[in-house]
Amino acid sequence: MTQIEGLVPGELPASGNILRLFFTPGHRSVYDQVYQAATTESDETKQRNLQVLGFLILFAPRLDSEALAEIVSAVRSTASEDLHVLGKVYLDCFIRPFYNFRGPRTPFSPDHPSRPSFNARVQQIKATLTEAPKNHSDAKDKALVRDGYRCVVTRLIDPNCMSFFDAKQIDTFGTGTTRCAHIVPDSTVFGMHEELNKKYLASILAVFDRFGIKIDTLNRDKMHSLENVMTLALQIYDTFDKLELWLEATDNEHEYIVKAINENDFLLRTTVHGPIKLTSSDPNVPLPNPQFLEFHAAACKIAHLSGVAEHIENVLRDYERIGVLAEDGGSMAVLEQALFQAGSV
């Protein structure tokens, strides 16, 4: 069983065993309040929600952010018997938005018949690179150019862009299909069934706003901002979307340590050797937002330590097994409703 920060999934540790994770006595006291509620709760769903709350207290974004202060205040103002409800709010409105359960996107394909020639398309992208992307397709193309035509983690070169590299570089880094990954997935916020969308979206944005991510940075078309996307190799795109891979910041600007639930992932073991540095081909083009990546990293840790990630996967497998997910996506609302009813999101 993969441990995260030395902790075992499914178990809230006693605070005396994890003193390194607390910033202040008040921080520890609210955790103890949640820990006590979780250890005496017999209902599986409520216990899972309490574990989400407990691990969120431990892994909320850094001390100088607004998130931890907001969580501490919310716990203190909530009765012990209602803490599981607070946990579910954060599960629905913080963990859930980072989990992308929609199928994979199409890769970058500049030679598609409906597009101009490859070189012409690249020149078009470069000419408008500093402009905000208008949609997913635009974000995908611009992110690939910004990221140097390759995966930001593995450095695999997109096969459509081999002409920009010499033989030695291609031999050194290798090639692989890439996809555009949203840090906060656009599908889980704006791809929902209309009946669920408006109220739920307002709740998500309210929680993010209280945590320090302002509404106007995530609203509608801004989801496709280059600050919210990056180029990933196909092999790790899905693991990032399913909260199984995250980037943990170092003390150096835009430098990250790659973390994964599967520590033996062959591609990561053979391509990632130490911290990675995110760079832009144009200094005027923004890199992935460190705050978004920090929140994504927190969501990954909390989802797996609380058991939520495994529970979501089980629900998805059940629906796929019985054929509920239609190819045209028409049954997605059924799945969304099931996930909510299951207490998983």
| DSSP per position, 229-296 | EEEEEHHHHHHHHTTSEEEEE-SSTTEEEEEES-TT-HHHHHH--S-EE---SSTTSPPPPHHHHHHH
**To which residue do tokens 């299909």 refer?**
177
Question: Cα–Cα distance between 250 and 74 in angstroms, integer?
Answer: 29
Query: What would the pLDDT profile of 189-230 be if each residue is shown by its tens digit?
Result: 544 445 556 677 777 778 888 888 876 666 666 778 899 999
Give the residue from 11, 10, 55 showing the smallest Cα distance to 31: 55
Please tell me what DSSP assigns to residue 150.
B
Instruction: Report residue 106's pLDDT band, with 50, 70 and 90 as the boundaries.
Output: very low
Average pLDDT, the chain: 81
pLDDT value at position 133?
Answer: 67
> End-to-end CA distance of the chain, in Å?
23
pLDDT value at position 86?
Answer: 95
- CB environment 85-110: b (16+ within 10 A), e (fewer): ebbbbbbbbbbbbbbbbeeebebbbb
Secondary structure of residue 181 in the 3-state scheme: strand
Instruction: Report residue 76's pLDDT band, with 50, 70 and 90 as the boundaries.
Output: very high
Say if residue 105's pLDDT is above 70. Answer: no
pTM, entire model: 0.83
pLDDT value at position 203?
Answer: 79
Question: Cα–Cα distance between 333 and 203 in angstroms, integer?
Answer: 18
Say if residue 146's pLDDT is above 80. Answer: yes
Higher local confidence (pLDDT), 219 or 174: 174
Tokens of 25: 């006595």
Question: Cα–Cα distance between 190 and 202 in angstroms, integer?
Answer: 11
Using only C-alpha atoms, what is the Rg of the chain?
21
Residues forming beta bridges with residue 7, ordered by sequence position: 4
- CB environment 137-154: b (16+ within 10 A), e (fewer): ebbbbbbbbbbbbbbbbb
